[in-house]
Amino acid sequence: MTHRREFLQMTTASLFGLSLLPKRRSFKLTISNPIKPLVISTWDFGLQANAAAWEILNNGGRALDAVEAGVRVPEADPNIQTIGLGGLPDRDGHVTLDACIMDEHGNAGSVACLEHIVHAISVARKVMEKTPHVMLAGEGALQFALSQGFQKQNLLTPASEKAWKEWLKKADYHPVINIENQLAPATPNTMPGNSFNHDTIGMLAIDQQGNLSGACSTSGLAFKMHGRVGDSPIVGAGLFVDNEVGAATATGVGEANMRICGTHTVVELMRQGYDPEQACRLALERLVNKDPDYARSIQLAFLAVRKDGTIGAYALQKGFRYAVYTPDVPNELRESKSFY
């Protein structure tokens, strides 16, 4: 309880327009031996994506170009049913894509619920570079993509159509987690909902100049409600880049992530001095503390890199893997620690 005296002091301070907040301390990270270039990305498909990004980084290219090129790899792969071409559709049979990109200047572009265009990440980049906006959604995003020369194509592959038709037999729409549990039963290597019916490619890179960029792209939750948008196109949820501090990306149930503005939280925790792994854990802890039963029943994972090239990750459930490519680590998969 605030004592009367403290309250009076507060009131006096407010009256005189004095800020009660501590003075802003600027972030100073001593970087003695930065790791660069570097690229990290979510899940096993991150290996191929990293390889494409590395080509650019190793030749002195910009991190922004690297993350776009990297993310385009799983977007174009029809066998990956959670991203781009071949993504599992919503419950009405539409493949709808979410993507976001951020550069070293803090510029951002994103698309939500975009249909018929394979490379949602490249449309997001065009939104960032060619419009006064940050996000375009649905029909407007498609119109814009077509105006920029992107080709319209059917993203629903026979395999994804078959999976959708199978789902339609019951069409049992429950809150998200139930759907995931039905469709992605745990195996010795995966947790429910971990790998089959939703997963985002999230990629973060540091170029030889030491600049950071990030990108992420997904078809979102399989058999979601038409019009559902996840965390991936939301700046500060699916992706956040601050060239002064570091960057973070997310994968897992977007609804959970949006409730804690996850990647912005991770970057701000790094600004406060936490290392990337601690920052990822602390961000997830907000959800764990607020809603432990929910947190226990879903997957959500963060992947982060600090400006000096220190990497960290944390997940709610076991089984979250990410791919790392640095001058000393030639593209390997690592598994993150988890709460449960």
When asked if residue 200 is in the footprint of ligand ASP (CB under 6 A), the reply is yes
Q: Residue 220, interface with ligand ASP (CB under 6 A)?
A: yes
Nearer to ligand ASP by Cβ, of 219 and 310: the residue is 219
- Neighbour order of strands in the sheet with 311-315: 239-242, 246-252, 300-306, 311-315, 337-338
Cα 321 to its chain centre, rounded Å, is 14
Window of 59-67, 205-213, 229-237, 290-298 that interacts with ligand ASP by CB under 6 A? 229-237
H helix count then E strand count, the chain: 11, 13
Q: Vertex 57, ends 83 and 150: CA angle to 5°?
A: 40
**Shortest Å distance, C-beta 218 to ligand ASP:** 5
Residue 263, interface with ligand ASP (CB under 6 A)?
no
195 scored as a contact of ligand ASP (CB under 6 A)? no
Q: Running DSSP on this structure, what letter comes out for residue 154?
A: -
What is the distance between the alpha carbons of residues 305 and 210, in angstroms, rounded to a whole number?
Answer: 12
**At closest approach, how far in Å is the CB of 293 from ligand ASP?**
19
Helix (H, G, I), strand (E, B) or coil at 322: strand
Q: Is 200 a catalytic residue?
A: yes
State the minimum distance, in angstroms, from the CB of residue 319 to ligand ASP.
Answer: 12
Rounded to a whole number of angstroms, the distance between the first and last alpha carbons of the chain is 36
The least distance separating ligand ASP from the CB of residue 308, rounded to whole angstroms, comes to 27
Contact residue for ligand ASP among 198, 306, 307, 321 (CB under 6 A): 198
Q: Which of 50, 81, 243, 251 binds ligand ASP (CB under 6 A)?
A: 251
Q: Are the C-beta atoms of residues 267 and 304 closer than 8 Å to each other?
A: yes
By beta-carbon proximity to ligand ASP, the closer residue of 84 and 309 is 84
Q: Which stretch binds ligand ASP (CB under 6 A): 3-11, 160-168, 193-201, 264-272?
A: 193-201
| 305 forms part of the interface with ligand ASP (CB under 6 A) | no
297: contact with ligand ASP by CB under 6 A: no
We find the least distance from the C-beta atom of residue 126 to ligand ASP, in angstroms, to be: 21
The piece of 71-79, 140-148, 214-222, 315-323 that touches ligand ASP (CB under 6 A) is: 214-222
For residues 174 and 156, what is the distance between their CA atoms, to the nearest angstrom?
23
**Distance between CA atoms of residues 31 and 91, nearest Å:** 49
Residues 12-51 that bind ligand ASP (CB under 6 A): none
CB of 316 to ligand ASP, least distance (A): 12
303 binding ligand ASP? (CB under 6 A): no
- CB 145, CB 123: distance < 8 Å: yes
Q: How many C-beta atoms lie closer than 10 Å to residue 162's C-beta?
A: 10
The encoded tokens of residue 268 equal 């701000």
Instruction: Name the residue among 85, 71, 307, 303 with its Cα closest to residue 206.
Output: 307
Extended strands (E) in 28-72: 38-42
Q: Which of 68, 199, 207, 242 binds ligand ASP (CB under 6 A)?
A: 199
230 binds ligand ASP (CB under 6 A): yes
Angle between helices 138-147 and 120-130 (to 10 degrees): 80
- What is the CA angle 190-192-198, rounded to 5? 90
Nearest to 204 by CA among 293, 325, 61, 44: 325
Selected catalytic residue, list 82, 96, 200, 265:
200
* Nearer to ligand ASP among residue 70 and residue 220 (C-beta): 220
Q: Which is nearer to ligand ASP, 37 or 192 (CB)?
A: 192
Closest distance of CB 318 from ligand ASP, Å:
15
Q: Work out whether 336 is an interface residue with ligand ASP (CB under 6 A).
A: no
Q: What residues are annotated to the active site?
A: 200
Q: Could you list the residues that contact ligand ASP (CB under 6 A)? A: 198-200, 218, 220-221, 230-232, 251-254
